[in-house]
Amino acid sequence: MYHAVHQNKAEPSLYCDLNEKSLTQLDHVLPASLCANWQTWLQLPLAELVENLIASYGLDHLPQHIPYLLAFRDLLSNATRPGERGIGAFLEWWQEEGCRESLPSPDGANAVQVITIHKAKGLAFRAVFVPFCIWDNKTKANAVFWVSAKETMYHHLGDIPLRFSESLAKTTVAKAYFEEVLYSNMDSLNMLYVATTRSKDFLYLGTMFKKDAEKLSNIGDVINTAMNSFDPEFNDTNTYEKVEDVPGIVKVEERSFITLHNYPTSQRLSDLYVATEEKHIIHLLNMEKSGRKGSLAHEVLASASNEKETDDYLQKLLTEGVIQQEELQPLKQTVMDVLQHPGLSKLLHQSGHSIIEKNIIDINGRIQRPDRILVKEDSVVLLDYKFTSEQSDKHVEQILKYKQLLKQMGYNNVQPYLFYAVRKELKMVG
């Protein structure tokens, strides 16, 4: 499908590769992003997984597929509204219900609408064409129907299931058989009534010619017999027309349409589902060398308050490839110089509870993230690390904003501190 959509020829050998190679080795057959990220994508919510698949297959840049993609996204939303239960549950729903859905057509669209007679009840159309007006008049042979056994030798069984057959007309259940035939013919005529009363101006019915005109086995035979009484030449022409002039109605409607040339996808959900810790790792891997040491030290201090915690976190960064072996000892020394500062050490050990780099949403919906909040019995200490050599008014402005947020949250006694690691200076902000 991937090759067909993009009008590329799929070599026969590619089908063999699908069976013989793992998904990570099929980037020459399937989208490279799918092969590289499929394990990660399996952990995503279903809606986000579908968005990634659409983008990886390149369907978002094919305008002819956009209406179907948008309709599928609506179906996906409806299917997962009661609660998402995973890919398996969605595929089961799709097989039972979703695959029968069709692309919705707006009222007044210049298009042919294909619909069943049952679904057409209560609707009206200017022109109706029933191409196969040949449904059976009576119940199909061997179909099972239930009859009462009261007047038979099996009366003690109550109701019994029987296979529908003309031979039942000569048995003790003949009454039930003829009732079934009667009801089946009535249902067939009712369906014909619905089909022929949906049109406003034009109605076309298609039936099949039969040599044995005496046997009325389907509704088309009934129509053909009726047509013979209206038009004696019907058997020769196989066509009956009743034509009347219908005044044309020209409606001038002004409509504004939005044409989409690309499927609107967003990675916002993916960003939301990236763990906070993973975001820090991504930042550390991509930052410039000039600020690397300070940012790494800042990252460690956000998660460690003693030597053991420092060693554990540095080992974690080393294992993940964020830092090199030669960086480990100098980085530890920088962090320990900060933690062993007398004033800072006193603050850290006096606190009863420590909150490290957690989001605070202000009244404008913006996210603020203090480095560390130390909660005591009668006060709250705000601590922000700075690895710049120069002090700045912006540092003061930032921590005072954090202080104001905590006051709005009900903490009245808030003590903000700035720690300048390069100068080894702990400064209380008034």
Q: Does residue 50 form part of some domain?
A: yes
**Rg of the chain on CA atoms, in Å:** 38
User: At a CB cut-off of 8 Å and minimum separation 6, what does 186 contact?
Assistant: none
- Indicate if 135 and 280 belong to the same structural domain: no
What CATH code is carried by the domain that includes residue 312?
A: 3.90.320.10
List, for residues 375-423, the tens digit of each pLDDT value.
887 888 888 888 777 788 888 888 899 888 888 888 888 889 888 877 8
Model confidence at 287: pLDDT above 50: no
Given this model, what pLDDT does residue 194 score?
92
Compute the distance between CA of residue 41 and CA of residue 11 in angstroms, rounded to an integer: 28
What mean pLDDT do residues 72-96 have?
84
Compute the distance between CA of residue 374 and CA of residue 352 in angstroms, rounded to an integer: 7
Compute the distance between CA of residue 29 and CA of residue 11 in angstroms, rounded to an integer: 10
Asked which of 61, 84, 99 is the last residue of a domain, the reply is 99
Q: Does residue 259 form part of some domain?
A: no
pLDDT, greater one: 216 or 310: 310
User: At a CB cut-off of 8 Å and minimum separation 6, what does 97 contact?
Assistant: none
What mean pLDDT do residues 75-87 have?
81
Q: Would you list the DSSP string of 258-292?
A: ---SS-----HHHHHTS-HHHHHHHHHHHS-GGGH
- Indicate if 277 and 411 belong to the same structural domain: yes
Given this model, what pLDDT does residue 129 score?
92
- Indicate if 330 and 379 belong to the same structural domain: yes
Q: Does residue 25 form part of some domain?
A: yes
Do the beta carbons of residue 416 and residue 429 sit within 8 Å? yes
- Indicate if 373 and 303 belong to the same structural domain: yes
* pLDDT class of 286 with cuts at 50, 70, 90: very low
Model confidence at 288: pLDDT above 60: no
Given this model, what pLDDT does residue 255 score?
59
Give the domain extent around 143: 125-237
Question: 30-44, 73-87, 193-207, 322-336 — which one is most confidently predicted on average?
Answer: 193-207
Tokens 């094919």 label which residue?
Answer: 62
Given this model, what pLDDT does residue 368 score?
86
- Indicate if 132 and 89 belong to the same structural domain: no
Model confidence at 252: pLDDT above 60: no
In three-state secondary structure terms, 346 is helix
Q: Does residue 250 form part of some domain?
A: no
Asked which of 214, 237, 260 is the last residue of a domain, the reply is 237
Do the beta carbons of residue 33 and residue 251 sit within 8 Å? no
Model confidence at 281: pLDDT above 70: no
According to DSSP, the residues that pair with 148 across neighbouring strands are: 159
In three-state secondary structure terms, 357 is coil
* pLDDT class of 164 with cuts at 50, 70, 90: confident
- Indicate if 168 and 217 belong to the same structural domain: yes
Nearest C-alpha neighbor of 364 from the set 428, 408, 322, 310: 408
Q: Does residue 307 form part of some domain?
A: yes
- Indicate if 86 and 187 belong to the same structural domain: no
Q: What is the mean pLDDT of the chain?
A: 80
Would you say how long the chain is, in residues? 430
Given this model, what pLDDT does residue 108 score?
62
- Indicate if 141 and 91 belong to the same structural domain: no
Q: Does residue 20 form part of some domain?
A: yes
- Indicate if 424 and 288 belong to the same structural domain: yes
- Indicate if 222 and 277 belong to the same structural domain: no
Given this model, what pLDDT does residue 64 score?
82
| Out of 189-198, 239-248, 341-350, least confident range | 239-248
What mean pLDDT do residues 171-184 have?
85
**What percent of the chain lies above the pLDDT cut of 90?**
3
List, for residues 321-372, the tens digit of each pLDDT value.
778 888 888 888 888 888 888 888 888 777 778 887 788 888 887 888 888 8
Q: Does residue 308 form part of some domain?
A: yes
- Indicate if 349 and 396 belong to the same structural domain: yes
Asked which of 99, 134, 159 is the last residue of a domain, the reply is 99
What mean pLDDT do residues 216-237 have?
79
Q: How far is CA 244 from CA 201, 247, 248, in A?
A: 9, 10, 12
Please report which helix (H) or strand (E) contains residue 144, including its range.
strand 144-148
Q: Provide the whole-model pTM.
A: 0.41
Number of domains within the chain = 3
Task: State how beta strands 159-163 and 199-205 pair.
Answer: unpaired
Q: Would you list the DSSP string of 196-244?
A: HTSEEEEEEE-----S-TT---BHHHHHHHHHHHH-TTHHHH-------
Compute the distance between CA of residue 282 and CA of residue 266 in angstroms, rounded to an integer: 20
Model confidence at 62: pLDDT above 60: yes
Given this model, what pLDDT does residue 193 score?
92
- Indicate if 175 and 289 belong to the same structural domain: no
| Rounded (to 5) percent helix, strand, coil in the chain | 45, 15, 40
